[in-house]
Amino acid sequence: MISVCIATYNGEKYLREQLESILLQIEQDDEIVISDDCSTDGTLALLQSYHDERIRILHHDSTSIQTSFPLDKPTHNFENALKHAKGDIIFLADQDDVWLPGKVEKMVQALENADMAMHDCIIADTELNPLAPSYFDVVKVTTSAWRNAIKCTLLGCCMAMRRNVVEKALPFPKTKVGHDLWLGMVADTKFRFSLVREPLLMYRKHGKSMTTAGTKSKYGLWFKISYRLTILRHLFKLI
């Protein structure tokens, strides 16, 4: 069984296109687990309009998280979805990208010899016009936990993993660790982590994107230092 975990927040504009690209590739006994963080637009109405038994909607309230760290809320929204996923193989998906044909098949094949795999993607603008043909080339991708702790090249929307990785990674650190970096560090230090050097996703970049992956960071020096010190502290706990 495959679980696709999505964290949503006011994602109405692009969500339908993403869901359609995923539903075409999964079977009837698979699932899409969507954790919604109190969206105020039409996200929930859009989800409920599907009447598809493969879509499960969870409600998450990030107002209970007392934090000033900008990635904490989406990270724990994803954590909520992962906690409820039933699949043996688990994919992460953002609310605004588009899966390319063959993604599920090729990632399941990659996981025959790995516990986590991450594929390449095409960086695109809001209209899905390509900006760069390879995210891997732009960020000089690596699976090394140590190198990613200094400069993260991991992208959750390109990840798929076996259940053992998720079980080891839960619960997530309470603050200052992004979900994709944390899962990647767990996979690198405890399991087998492989790269699939084929673009299997259109990675949409727009002004409301939480991640700065593939572009210049918008965060200041103190943010970067604090973030990395926290990551290294949690990494040492894993070893």
Tokens found for residue 35: 């954790």
**DSSP summary character for residue 120:** E
Cα-based angle 114, 115, 121 (whole degrees, multiple of 5): 80
Distance from C-alpha of 8 to C-alpha of 15, rounded to nearest angstrom: 9
Q: What is the mean pLDDT of residues 129-140?
A: 98
17 backbone dihedrals φ, ψ, rounded to 5°: -60, -40
- The 10s digit of each residue's pLDDT in 45-60 is 999 999 999 999 999 9
- Sequence-distant (6+) residues with CB within 8 A of 239 are 189
Residue 215 has pLDDT above 80, yes or no: no
pLDDT digits 0-9 by tens, 159-207: 999 999 999 999 998 888 899 999 999 999 999 999 999 999 999 997 6
Q: CA 35, CA 11: separation in Å to the nearest integer?
A: 12
Domains of the chain: 2-238 (3.90.550.10)
**pLDDT range class, residue 218, cuts 50, 70, 90:** low
Residue 210 confidence (pLDDT): 45
Residue 17 pLDDT > 70, yes or no?
A: yes
Nearest to 65 by CA among 171, 189, 182: 171
